[in-house]
Amino acid sequence: MTFDDFLTWNRPFRGLLRRIQTAAAGNDDLLLLGLPGTGKTALCEAIHRASPRAKRPLVRVEADASAEQLDAAIHDAAGGTLVLREPVLFPHDHRARIAKQNDARLLCTSTRSLTEVDTAASVYDALRPALRKIPFRIPSLHQRPEDLLPLFDHFASRQRRRLGRPYQGRAQDLSDALLSRPWPHNVADLIAVAEQAATLGRNPTLARADLDEPPSQPPAAASAEDILSLEDAKRAHVRLAVDLCRGNQSLAARKLGITRNTLREYLAAPGEKD
């Protein structure tokens, strides 16, 4: 992934990409903030490829990595780039190990807000004091509405080319349906929906019927009896996240901003946690 691969018709996002590309050409450690699915991982790859370290490894490490895995990642990233997802979730001793290394450029990504990052200032300052100075806030899909339909066309057309089938655009009912969706996981959701519609659709022009959506049902009457405890609600949300990630617990944990071990604790039946 390079900066040329990012498609946008949104002027503020184009300007942001130019600023990130300029920063990529240096050696400064960088912090990327944004909701799940906004492209932080892809941007890390683009930054690495546009940097003086492009010929060296790009290594990603998760908060739940073991000490041995972390040490291996630091070793492998020497001279290259080390990507940390949600540094706040890293154990203190892991952050201390990372802070001691000076051979790799740090790229940190987080789904947390700027306020939350400032609250965790000691974490970022312990890693690299410069990280919080100029954080890059990646916009959500709703903040770049002019990108939604052109991006759908791009991803649907790409999928049709893979399938050897023509793509001739969208019917109005599909456009209306796409514009009304919430897109909680942003571009990642859009890619999945576009590829699914392009695969399921039988005609060159895609319509709303090609979206794999369950028929809407009128909401059932609710009462105080239906209120879940906060703990049960968290468990239900974690299970939903794992389902949406097709059973991939590592991906679900990243989307939720928790470690894989914490996710497993929520998946365990009450009383099963150690």
Place of tokens 């909701």: 35
Print the domain residue range for 170: 142-210
DSSP track, 198-242: HHH--SSSB-GGGS--PPP-PPPP--GGGPPPHHHHHHHHHHHHH
Are both 62 and 175 inside the same structural domain? no
Are both 21 and 128 inside the same structural domain? yes
Are both 75 and 171 inside the same structural domain? no
Domain containing residue 244: CATH number: 1.10.10.60
pLDDT digits (tens, 9 = 90+) for 212-261: 764 444 444 445 554 556 776 777 788 777 767 767 888 888 888 888 88
Are both 131 and 13 inside the same structural domain? yes
Say yes or no to pLDDT of 269 above 90.
no
What pLDDT does 219 receive?
44
Are both 122 and 9 inside the same structural domain? yes
217 located within any domain: no
Give start and end residues of each alpha helix (H) in the chain.
Answer: 11-24, 40-49, 67-76, 92-100, 114-119, 121-127, 148-163, 172-180, 186-200, 230-244, 249-256, 260-267
Are both 100 and 135 inside the same structural domain? yes
Q: CB count, 10 Å around CB of 255?
A: 21
Are both 131 and 48 inside the same structural domain? yes
Which residues lie closer than 8 Å to 75 by C-beta, 6 or more apart? none
Are both 83 and 179 inside the same structural domain? no
- Based on the structure, what is the number of domains in the chain? 3
Exposed e or buried b for every residue in 69-100, given b needs 16+ CB within 10 A?
ebeebbebbeebbbbbbbbbbbeeebbebbee
How does residue 189 score in pLDDT terms, banded at 50, 70 and 90? very high
Which residues lie closer than 8 Å to 20 by C-beta, 6 or more apart? 3, 30, 43, 46, 47, 136
Lowest average pLDDT, out of 58-62, 98-102, 134-138, 216-220, goes to 216-220
